[in-house]
Chains A and B, each alone.
Chain A
Amino acid sequence: MKRLTPYLLILPGGLWLAIFLVVPMVFMASVSTQEGNVVDGFAQTFNFANYTNTLALFQTQFLRSVGYGLAGTLIAIALAYPIAYWIAFRGGARKSTYLLLVLLPFFVSFVLRTVSWKFLLADEGIVLAPLKSLGVLPEDFHVLQTTVAVVGGLVYNYLPFMILPIYVALERVDPRSVEAAQDLYATRSAAFRKIVLPLSLPGVFAGVLMTFVPMTADYVNAGILGGPQNTMIGNIIQTKYLINNDYPSAAALSFTLMAAMLVGIFAYAKALGTENVLEAAAR
């Protein structure tokens, strides 16, 4: 019985993954090589051209999504690191309060938060109208339906996922190791570069995993805040699936996206010199 215990413990989670991840994935993999339409039905013809055709047709949106994901992730690191650092080292007794504040936006629906940006950033809204009337901005200046709005929305929505893992990594840095470095005549910045930063990199890595992937696949921000030039691959998949009922193309696009992300993430892990991606992320 004792030997069985670990297996019994992973059973609920394992079943969850099997039923809600593996089964749908197998199903979608099968759909992705089918041909047909919703009225006449779809038949399995192992039509791998679904992959090449959709990729050729939507490579712009693919590259754009990856670009937005990268830009969003970099901005998120730049914003999140100082916040996480401050909470970890200067947060004092109120650390948990600050963490709660970071998480507070999650108490409001993702979509509603994004929609509220439309009101904040409207051309004649509460932010832009005063600046325009002061002459700081030209009359035809706008933020909505620009790349800035979409990437901004992505960063805003996924920022906590970057802050939290970096915070966890920084929190674990033993302050005595920094003191030791300073005892050994390291300057403050050298101590940061040689001690704190390397120790916090696994947190950054986990943060990148948790933000880059959902940002790249996101369709809500481009749908609500974007314009004609901001369509992301997620929007295309959504249209293919729900409007056109073209399930094979949608499935093929999803798998291409997934494969691209996996390759990207592993390449990134390798470049970072991380021995084991999952272990680093788990730390």
Chain B
Amino acid sequence: MDIRTNPAFLRGMTTSRRDALKLAGMSAAALALAACGVEGKKAEAPKKDAVADFWAGKKQNGTLRFANWPLYIDKDGKDYPSLKMFEQDKGIKVSYTEAIQDNGSWFGKIQPQLAAGTDIGFDLMVMTNGNQLQRALSLGYLAPLDHSKLPNFAANAAQKVKNPAWDPNNTFTIPWTLGVTGIAYNPEFVDEVTSMNDLWNPKYKGKVGMMIDAQEIANFGMFALGIDPEKSKEADWRKAAAKLQEQRDAGLVRKYYENDYIDALVRGDIWITMAWSGDVFQQITEGKNLKFVVPQEGATIWSDNMCIPKTAQNPVDALALMDYVYQPKIATMLVEYINYITPVPATKDLVLADAAKAEGEDKEFLEQLASSPLIYPSEADLAKMRGYLMLDSKTDQLFESIFQPVTQG
């Protein structure tokens, strides 16, 4: 597989690039925010006929503006094969932009327009099920989905992605991909890891990476204490923060990383770290000697979700794409490039079928993909996984004020 077509190689470059893009985008976002005013308005309880109300009179316009993260869709040279097929099948022209570098600055950019009820320039966007998406939901910024237009989602989506706690009945979102936050380590320096406690092991002093994101690190603190994060309360958060502070005070933590932990792990700055499944899978397929585990105490499962801003100009077209990517054939094209967990389990057989047809390194790569627990996690692992805690606007501030002193003290 050459460099041009090897998605793993391209993805391998994302971390530093994302980093750079993010920092560069920040000043722009800050300016946009400064001008935005600071109105907030809680969404009213969804009305029963909200779906019918929103979609009444909306028609397919033949164009779609899609905002996604860098290197998060199959690409061939300058083309996006799956989007090309969509354009041919549905007659909808897609303008695809890698506009989102991280949830924080993205929410900062779109919030003023959504608060003012004006177009954000996109009809479809992908956001992680964290605080920002929660805020967008509470503020009523998203269009309720018309599930009668999502038959492929109903038929092909994995049971585990349907009806998530933070968006009951997938009222506003359906997943683009999913990922697991577990532990990655370099077996050259670290003995076999099975437990969260290995992140607290004094043997790895100064060689442990943790994540700076409050929800990510909070979950790990709670797993280590045997607390179920989805059911946790303030007292649990304080206990978890104390546990994490203990790890920090002992000098174990090298740094609280954003998405640059993977470079640090590959370069040897750290030996063991909190990590996202897809990043590690890509490094392993590039031949790096790394391991990823779902610790016995549990791990975090998250999803990046497609959603339609309520001010979208072409919502019908957006809904069409949301359903289109849930066809196993299309989902297979996506997972073979993206290397994160696909919400369509039927893709596994199709990846294997592709592997049977392929040769050499391609074949090896696809076989690895189909058999990897990082892409198709086992039922036993899935049973141990928990989502992020759902926070409302009040507890949100409390939660962050408990965990940020650990990461930014």
Contact = CB atoms under 8 A, between A and B. Distances in A.
B95 to A, nearest CB: 26
Contacts of B258: 223
Nearest to B134: A39
Contact of B42 (A24, A31, A40, A242): A40
Given A144-B269, A235-B408, A115 B19 contact: yes
Contacts of A123: 267-269
A36 B40 contact: yes
A242 B20 CA distance: 16
B12 to A, nearest CB: 14
Interface stretch (A224-232, A255-263, A267-275): A224-232
Contacts of B16: 115
Given A28-B34, A125-B267, A242-B29, A39 B139 contact: yes
A245 B40 CA distance: 11
Given A24-B34, A223-B23, A241-B30, A41 B41 contact: yes
B65 interface: no
Interface in A120-156: 122-125, 140, 142, 144-145
Interface in B102-150: 104-105, 107-108, 111, 131, 135, 138-139
A244 B400 contact: yes
Contacts of A118: 260, 263-264, 267
Contacts of A42: 38-40
Nearest to A124: B268
A177 interface: no
B20 A109 contact: yes
A192 interface: no
B397 A243 contact: no
Contact of A239 (B248, B269, B408): B408
Interface in A22-45: 24, 27-28, 31, 34, 36-42
B127 to A, nearest CB: 14
B291 interface: no
Interface in A79-99: none
Contacts of B108: 241-242, 245
Interface in B282-306: none
B269 A60 contact: no
B24 interface: yes
Contacts, number: 121
A167 interface: no
Interface residues on B, range: 35 or more
A242 B104 contact: yes
Contacts of A140: 206
B230 interface: no
Interface range, A side: 35 or more
Interface stretch (B171-179, B218-226, B249-257, B349-357): B249-257
B361 to A, nearest CB: 26
A220 interface: yes
A37 B397 contact: yes
Contacts of B264: 118, 122
A109 B131 CA distance: 31
Interface string B366-409: 00000000000000000000000000111011001000100111
Contacts of B26: 238, 242
A31 B36 CA distance: 11
B138 A39 contact: yes
Contact of B255 (A37, A122, A226, A246): A226
A51 interface: no
A139 B197 CA distance: 25
19 contacts: A24-B31, A36-B38, A37-B397, A38-B40, A38-B135, A39-B135, A42-B39, A111-B23, A115-B20, A122-B267, A124-B267, A142-B269, A226-B255, A227-B254, A239-B404, A242-B105, A243-B104, A244-B397, A247-B33
Interface of B: 16, 19-20, 23-24, 26, 29-31, 33-35, 38-42, 104-105, 107-108, 111, 131, 135, 138-139, 206, 214, 248, 253-256, 258, 260, 263-264, 267-269, 392-394, 396-397, 400, 404, 407-409
Given A118-B260, A242-B26, 5 more contacts: A37-B40, A37-B393, A111-B19, A228-B256, A245-B135
